[in-house]
Structure 1
Amino acid sequence: MQQTILEARHIQKQFHDPVTVQVLTDITFSVNKGEFVSVIGKSGCGKSTLLYILSTMDTDYTGELLIDQELMTGQSDAQLAHIRNEKIGFVFQFHYLLNEFTVLRNVMLPGLKLARYSEQEVEHRALERLKMLGIEHLATKEAYRISGGEKQRVAIARALINDPHIIMGDEPTGNLDTKNSEHVFEIFHELAEVHNQTLLIVTHDQGFAERSGRIIEMEDGRIIRH
């Protein structure tokens, strides 16, 4: 029996500025544990808007969103912030590392915020994630002293610190050269294959999408294949 990690049911989204524009129409799909899913579609098709809703950051929609079989729709901001930190790992196009902190500290931050483990244990777990991604030698470096490709790998380690149910990515290779994009793809592929990690990645990189486990394609705010 496959475990459903994420489920969208009839999600609709409108912008009102000043006229009403339908941005998402009847979005319904689910993602099972260990799936590596890419979301593709032309610029402006609604994929980033959808990701904001799926990640619980945008609550202004109709329909239902479930993460780990728990209904997100209608929860308070504080509850959603806690769920986000506990159950979702984020990797963006820009790594959003804090320059003045070391690599290790950057990876630890979501773990310290969740406060499920002692600081010592969070540090141990952060080092394990860095080791898994082959960058433990960078642990004591300040974030601004490492390369762009290394920063994105640190961002992935940070996304993994709380053992999230799902990792969501918004164009995580959008800012990287071919070699580093390949690195990131291989990391994601291994996370899904070896560690049974669930991934939902918005990308405009067709080659990346074709090699992921499944493609959800969007057009004009609708899903046209999934």
Structure 2
Amino acid sequence: MKELILQTSHISKSFGDAVDVPVLSDINLQLAKGEFVSVTGKSGCGKSTLLYVLSTMDTDYDGELYIDGVCMNGKTEPQLARVRNEKIGFVFQFHYLLNEFSVLQNVMMPALRLGRWEADEIRQRAYDKLVTLDMAQHAQKKPNQLSGGQKQRVAIARALINDPLIIMGDEPTGNLDKRNSEIVFETFLQLAQTQGQTLLIVTHDQEFARRTGRTIQMQDGKVA
């Protein structure tokens, strides 16, 4: 039995004031260590909303969310912020790299915020993550000197810097061409297969989803 990284129990969510519109309905999920899971479905089906609930960025829901065996319900925002920084790495459709800093400095930022290691060790850790993603040769460049695929690999390195339990991605290949999408997919696959990294990726790309270890198909706010 593999270690459970994330688990939900009867997660539901609605939007609206005068009239509630259900967005998520009775979601029960389990993610084990090393799983590469995609969440897919038509636009508006609730997949991105689900990701924001699972990432603790949205706390307005019914049901229970457990990360690393700990219930997230009732935690304060500072407590949730620490969970996000320690246990979750984020990769979005847009890389959100800061052009005024080098690639290496961008990767270091979440670890500097966490404060678990000294600056020299963080620098070495950041460099090691860039080596893993074949981006070390670009460490001193600015993000605006990189291609779209290279920027996204730097964003993945940044997501890995604190050794998170899970990487969550929201359409991480949405802005990339086919070649760079393939590079990002292969990067995720390698992380899962060689490092036991757990990945939960929301995508509209059916080809991407088919090649992951497991696909969660959503329809009208439910797991189909």
Per the normalisation by structure 2, the TM-score is 0.99
Structure 2 counterpart of 1:41, which letter?
A: G
Residues 1:180 and 2:180 are matched in the alignment: yes
Match of 2:28, SS state, is strand
For 1:38 and 1:142, the matched residues in 2 are separated by 31
What residue in structure 2 maps to residue 70 of structure 1? 70
Structure 2 counterpart of 1:95, which letter?
A: H
CA shift, 1:19, in A, is: 2.2
What residue in structure 2 maps to residue 82 of structure 1? 82
Which structure 2 residue ranges, 5 or more long, are not aligned? none
For 2:198 and 2:39, the matched residues in 1 are separated by 14
Structure 1 counterpart of 2:68, which letter?
A: D
Greater CA drift, 210-219 or 9-18: 9-18
RMSD: 0.6
Is the CA contact (8 Å cut-off) linking 1:169 and 1:200 kept in structure 2?
A: yes
Is the CA contact (8 Å cut-off) linking 1:37 and 1:212 kept in structure 2?
A: yes
How many residues of Structure 1 are paired with residues of Structure 2 in the alignment?
224
CA shift, 1:18, in A, is: 4.2
Residues 200-219 of structure 1 mapped to structure 2, 5 A cutoff: 200-219=200-219
Is the CA contact (8 Å cut-off) linking 1:100 and 1:144 kept in structure 2?
A: no
Which structure 1 residue ranges, 5 or more long, are not aligned? none
For 2:152 and 2:111, the matched residues in 1 are separated by 18
| Cα deviation code 1:56-111 (max 9, x no counterpart) | 00000010000011111110000000010000000000000011110000000000
Structure 2 counterpart of 1:92, which letter?
A: F
Match of 2:5, SS state, is strand
Per the normalisation by structure 1, the TM-score is 0.98
Aligned residues with identical type, % of pairs: 63
CA shift, 1:17, in A, is: 4.2
Point out 4+ residue stretches in structure 1 off by more than 3 angstroms.
Answer: none
What residue in structure 1 maps to residue 126 of structure 2? 126
CA shift, 1:174, in A, is: 0.4
For 1:72 and 1:190, the matched residues in 2 are separated by 29
